[in-house]
């Protein structure tokens, strides 16, 4: 593996502009992150924080109301923003693949499994209908679906939720992408299925050398699956770095709040902690740091000036004025303290 | 960090606050002006029409409009097969269309809204009965049903209004009932129930004001349909009876002269119908979008 | 699924019952049934006979029973004008109406579906606006006006097409277009909204994420799904068309059911009017039932539901 990152986003911004041009929603704001081949990056945030929009931005499949306004997206050395629509279509599915949250909704109810799994093969590899069908059977096998020969001719509604999500996974890896983006793939699965599915993803990743971007709001999954983590708030990355470091010594108050809000059996406090207030309206963000209104550690400068990403050591950055020499984060929890709220063990 | 809870909003039902709607974006100015114009023409028909619409002289039959050969300024839009002035008949026809259209819509709306509220709120067998009848009556095309009723009771302006009301109330009832069903679950209704209000009070004070919006939108959309149906009925001879001038009737008469090219008897009344219906539809569409996004599936 | 079908059949039977009840009540209660059902110019004895025949002195429910009994045997009375049973008349004219409706339906789908798809794919674009105007005109212009204007142009001025009667293709064109016009607008609207809904769904998103060419996304994935409600509506509309064709058939003197109805009201031939309405209503109820059942058989999702 080369030392060049596989994917590198630099100051990427994507805004939704209302028809009259009056309301601008900064859904993705100055995002900078990078990913190496074979690495797993977790992206965490509340709903509305911009994580799904970020994923769609990378795939350049934003709805017409949205626009990428600045930045670069380097994938395998090429700027994805320079590509034409036709070139982008070749990237999608073949070099970067994406899995969506709801597997039932992701599959077309009127076409067979084999048809839908074989589609990318027919488009990107020029496979014939027959050979795409055969390869589909093989793909179903690789995602651990029993009796794939019968399943391949069936329809989505005949499958269970867990199976459907595996099928979607099969579609994702069908053309051998280098990067797989998974947008909350386990959110609609039962808890017991979740663990199996995550196991599967790990295996696939190892077998195919995939880089994985895992979008979730579940920090437990992040702990088990991810090497690095980026925390998003109001469209911006507020903290990113290796998972172990972020969990043991978070620098940003928001990250601390997220980690602190996870209930654990060892906790003797009686009340659940929540974060005060509501996420901001992305169309009218405050002048200073977006989290300042809710931040328990905010001071004057936070409300006045939005902080840049400040390196805090160990390959981490935090978008917080506390990270300057005047305020340093104290260690709170260690990684082993993380509750095992994700079924059985994931090595 | 403390846990905060949002305050429970205990509001009572209130219809949308009145707003200077003519300044709203996308306001269909022209359709509204057209409708107002037609209404004014209808009201002041006696003063506006140059001739009596029901009297004609056979010596002047089938005169073409003023700009064609054989026409004269005396009859701007020509005369019909018994020599009556077309323009005057169009003007008085506006009155018929307006009166029949608006009244029928009000009748249908009144019945439909009341039944919709009652059926939706009370539920149970009342709901079942009303719904079954609605489904059945909706299965019959409006025109067929209207023709059937007109054949039984005979045509007259009043009868037509009643018939149209009977034919179209079902559309109201369906929609209003749907609204009421979802309103029933809302906070303020439940509060009223808990407070011990009687059912009729709730229906009157809380439910009714909230469905008025939909009723108004539906009324505007229905106006166009009702007018076309009335024109169709008149065209077939079971609508407003002659010699009263109805646009549909004029077109039926006009058919007689069509084959020899007397086009003005057909085209002008049709244009009037089209203008009125088009305006009503445009207004209704705009209202639907403005007043309640939920109604967009109508 | 068995339950679903049984339930639907039950509803339809109930609807048929209510339909017959409605017609019965309206005739007997609001109108003067004797004058309606007796030929014009009948003698006092005939009137008395009819009185007895209808059983007007018997309780209402007995009359209804009699009415239903004759309906069940297909006896809808006899036309005054034609002196033949209404039932026979109806089925004599039906093929003509079916032909007209079929052609009109084909036209309406040929125009409506592609324009609806185009409008949805190019939302808020030129085609969408054009489509909206077309829809508006289609739904606002009374069909008989369209028909009459067409006659004016193509028969009177240009002399290309015959203005009335049935016979060859040239006779069929204008009436079919006039009848299909309104429905083309309705189908276009439904196709457009259905397509828009489908285009917003997750599987379309995934199809794009797979890197499928846009033609595949629209033509393969979106098309089939979007068409389902349209075809359903079209099926029902076919029968509706037959019933609302009264105006078009009158304008073009097309010898179908619609014209029969017109003759019925023109000649005060009430048995014909009643018969057409009864059969028409029953047909629509039955078609709705059929479509629902077919739907249950085809759409695999409904099969598993109940």
Asked if B235's CB is within 8 angstroms of C26's CB, the reply is no
Residue B172 has pLDDT above 90, yes or no: no
Residues in chain A with pLDDT < 50? 1, 328-347
Each as own residue / partner, the long-range contacts of residues C291-297 (CB below 8 Å, 24 or more positions apart, any chain) are: C291/C232, C291/C235, C291/C236, C292/C8, C293/C5, C293/C8, C295/C232, C296/C1, C296/C4, C296/C5
In this prediction, residue A182 carries a pLDDT of 92
A37: left (phi over 0), alpha (psi -120 to 50) or beta: beta
A310-313 sheet: strands from edge to edge: A96-99, A179-183, A211-216, A40-44, A228-233, A236-242, A316-318, A310-313
In this prediction, residue C294 carries a pLDDT of 79
List of chain A residues whose C-beta atoms are within 8 Å of the C-beta of residue B4: 274, 276-277
In this prediction, residue C31 carries a pLDDT of 64
Confidence band, pLDDT 50/70/90 cuts, at residue B296: very low
Asked if B266's CB is within 8 angstroms of C145's CB, the reply is yes
Tell me the pLDDT tens digit for each residue of A61-75: 988 888 888 999 999
B60 neighbors B85 (Cβ within 8 angstroms): no
Contact status of C89 with chain A (Cβ, < 8 Å): no
A71 neighbors A108 (Cβ within 8 angstroms): no
- Tell me which chains share at least 3 CB pairs under 8 Å with chain C: A, B
List of chain C residues whose C-beta atoms are within 8 Å of the C-beta of residue A94: 211
DSSP-derived letter for residue A287 is S
List of chain B residues whose C-beta atoms are within 8 Å of the C-beta of residue A257: 1
In this prediction, residue A345 carries a pLDDT of 40
Tell me the pLDDT tens digit for each residue of B84-143: 888 888 888 888 889 999 999 999 999 999 999 888 888 888 888 888 888 888 888 888
Contact status of A272 with chain B (Cβ, < 8 Å): yes
Rounded CA separation B114/C75 (Å): 38
Contact status of A278 with chain B (Cβ, < 8 Å): no
Mean pLDDT of B205-229: 86
Contact status of A110 with chain C (Cβ, < 8 Å): yes
Nearest CB neighbour to C211, from listed A92, A100, A107: A92
Rounded CA separation B170/B145 (Å): 12
Rounded CA separation B51/B87 (Å): 8
In this prediction, residue B14 carries a pLDDT of 37
Confidence band, pLDDT 50/70/90 cuts, at residue B13: very low
Backbone angles phi and psi of C206, in degrees to 5 = -65, -35
In this prediction, residue B195 carries a pLDDT of 84
Mean pLDDT of B7-19: 39
List of chain C residues whose C-beta atoms are within 8 Å of the C-beta of residue A168: 206
Residues 6+ apart with CB under 8 A from A23: A16, A17, A283
Confidence band, pLDDT 50/70/90 cuts, at residue B22: low
Distance in Å, alpha carbon of A41 to nearest chain C alpha carbon:
20
Rounded CA separation C85/C279 (Å): 14
Mean pLDDT of B220-241: 88
Helix then strand count (H, E) for chain B reads: 11, 0
CB pairs under 8 A between A and B: 14
In this prediction, residue B1 carries a pLDDT of 40
Question: Chain-wide mean pLDDT for chain B?
Answer: 81
Tell me the pLDDT tens digit for each residue of B180-203: 888 888 878 888 888 888 888 878
Asked if B3's CB is within 8 angstroms of A272's CB, the reply is yes
Each as own residue / partner, the long-range contacts of residues B1-5 (CB below 8 Å, 24 or more positions apart, any chain) are: B1/A257, B1/A273, B1/A274, B1/A275, B1/A276, B1/A296, B2/A276, B3/A271, B3/A272, B3/A273, B3/A274, B4/A274, B4/A276, B4/A277
Residues in chain C with pLDDT < 70? 1, 31, 40, 54-57, 298-306
- Tell me which chains share at least 3 CB pairs under 8 Å with chain B: A, C
Residue of C nearest to B221 (CA): C140
Backbone angles phi and psi of A44, in degrees to 5 = -125, 145
């Amino acid at each position: 593996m080369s030392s060049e990152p596989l994917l590198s986003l630099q100051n990427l911004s994507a805004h939704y502009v209302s028809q009259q041009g009056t309301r601008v929603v900064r859904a993705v704001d100055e995002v900078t992150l990078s990913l190496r081949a074979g690495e797993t990056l977790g992206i965490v945030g509340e709903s509305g924080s911009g994580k799904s929009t970020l994923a769609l931005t990378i795939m350049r499949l934003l709805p017409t109301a949205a626009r990428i306004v600045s930045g670069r997206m380097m994938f395998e050395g090429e700027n994805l923003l320079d590509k034409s629509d036709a070139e982008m279509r070749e990237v999608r599915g073949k070099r970067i693949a994406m899995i969506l949250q709801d597997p039932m909704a992701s599959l077309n109810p009127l076409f067979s499994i084999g048809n839908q799994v074989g589609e990318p093969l027919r488009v990107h590899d020029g496979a014939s209908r027959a050979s795409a069908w055969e390869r589909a059977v093989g793909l179903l096998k690789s995602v651990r679906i029993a009796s794939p020969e019968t399943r391949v001719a069936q329809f989505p509604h005949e499958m269970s939720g867990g199976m459907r999500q595996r099928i979607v996974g099969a579609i994702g890896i069908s053309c051998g992408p280098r990067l797989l983006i998974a947008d909350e793939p386990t959110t609609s699965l039962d808890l017991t299925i979740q663990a199996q599915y995550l196991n599967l993803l790990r295996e696939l990743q190892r077998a195919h050398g995939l880089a994985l971007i895992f979008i979730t709001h579940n920090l437990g999954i992040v702990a088990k699956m991810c090497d690095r983590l980026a925390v998003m708030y109001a469209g911006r990355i507020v903290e990113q770095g290796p998972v172990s470091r972020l969990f043991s010594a978070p620098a940003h108050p928001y990250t601390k709040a997220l980690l602190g809000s996870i209930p654990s059996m060892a906790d003797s406090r009686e009340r659940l902690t929540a974060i005060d207030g509501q996420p901001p309206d992305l169309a009218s963000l405050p002048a200073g740091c977006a989290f300042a209104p809710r931040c328990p550690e905010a001071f004057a400068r936070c409300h006045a000036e939005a902080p840049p990403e400040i390196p805090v050591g160990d390959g981490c950055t935090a978008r917080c004025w506390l990270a300057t020499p005047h305020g340093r984060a104290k260690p709170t929890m260690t990684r082993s303290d993380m509750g095992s709220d994700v079924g059985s063990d994931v090595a | 960090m403390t846990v905060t809870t949002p305050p429970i909003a205990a509001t009572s039902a209130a219809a949308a606050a009145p707003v200077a709607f003519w300044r709203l974006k996308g306001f269909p100015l022209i359709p509204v002006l057209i409708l107002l114009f037609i209404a004014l023409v209808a009201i002041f028909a006696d003063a506006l029409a140059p001739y009596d619409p029901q009297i004609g002289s056979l010596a002047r039959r089938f005169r073409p409009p003023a700009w064609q050969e054989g026409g004269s300024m005396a009859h701007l839009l020509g005369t019909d097969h018994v020599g009556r002035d077309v323009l005057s008949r169009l003007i008085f026809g506006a009155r018929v269309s307006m009166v029949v259209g608006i009244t029928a819509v009000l009748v249908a709306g009144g019945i439909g809204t009341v039944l919709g509220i009652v059926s939706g709120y009370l539920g149970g067998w009342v709901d079942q009965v009303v719904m079954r009848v609605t489904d059945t009556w909706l299965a019959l095309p409006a025109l067929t049903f209207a023709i059937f009723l007109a054949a039984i009771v005979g045509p007259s302006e009043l009868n037509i209004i009643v018939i149209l009301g009977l034919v179209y109330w079902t559309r109201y009832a369906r929609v209003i009932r749907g609204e009421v069903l979802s309103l029933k679950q809302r906070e303020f209704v439940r509060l009223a129930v808990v407070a011990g209000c009687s059912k009729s009070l709730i229906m009157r004070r809380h439910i009714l004001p909230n469905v008025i919006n939909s009723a108004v939108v539906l009324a505007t959309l229905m106006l166009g349909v009702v007018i076309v149906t009335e024109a169709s009925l008149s065209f077939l001879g079971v609508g407003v009876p002659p010699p009263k001038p109805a646009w549909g009737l004029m077109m039926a008469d006009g058919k007689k002269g069509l084959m020899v090219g007397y086009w003005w008897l057909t085209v002008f009344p049709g244009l009037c119908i089209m203008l009125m219906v088009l305006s009503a539809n445009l207004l209704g569409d705009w209202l639907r979008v403005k007043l309640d996004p939920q109604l967009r599936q109508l | 699924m068995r339950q679903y079908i049984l339930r639907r059949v039950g509803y339809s039977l109930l609807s048929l019952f209510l339909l017959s009840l409605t017609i019965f009540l309206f005739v007997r209660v609001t109108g003067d049934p004797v004058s309606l059902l007796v030929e014009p110019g009948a003698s006092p004895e005939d009137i008395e006979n009819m009185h007895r025949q209808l059983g007007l002195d018997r309780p209402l429910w007995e009359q209804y029973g009699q009415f239903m009994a004759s309906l069940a045997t297909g006896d809808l009375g006899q036309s005054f004008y034609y002196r033949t049973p209404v039932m026979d008349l109806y089925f004599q004219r039906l093929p003509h109406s079916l032909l007209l409706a079929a052609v009109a339906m084909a036209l309406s789908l040929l125009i409506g579906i592609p324009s609806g798809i185009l409008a949805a794919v190019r939302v808020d674009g030129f085609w969408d606006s054009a489509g909206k105007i077309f829809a508006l005109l289609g739904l606002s212009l009374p069909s008989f006006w369209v028909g009459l204007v067409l006659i004016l142009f193509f028969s009177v001025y240009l002399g290309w097409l015959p203005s009335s009667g049935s016979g060859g293709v040239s006779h069929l064109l204008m009436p079919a277009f006039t009848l299909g016009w309104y429905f083309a607008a309705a189908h276009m609207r439904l196709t457009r909204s259905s397509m828009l809904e489908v285009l917003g769904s997750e599987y379309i998103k995934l199809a794009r994420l797979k890197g499928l060419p846009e033609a595949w996304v629209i033509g393969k994935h979106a098309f089939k799904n979007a068409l389902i409600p349209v075809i359903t509506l079209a099926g029902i509309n076919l029968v509706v068309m037959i019933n609302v064709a009264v105006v078009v058939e009158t304008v073009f003197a097309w010898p179908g059911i619609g014209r029969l109805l017109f003759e019925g009201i023109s000649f005060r031939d009430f048995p014909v009017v009643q018969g057409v309405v009864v059969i028409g209503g029953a047909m629509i109820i039955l078609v709705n039932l059929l479509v629902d059942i077919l739907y249950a058989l085809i759409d695999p999702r409904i099969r598993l539901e109940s």
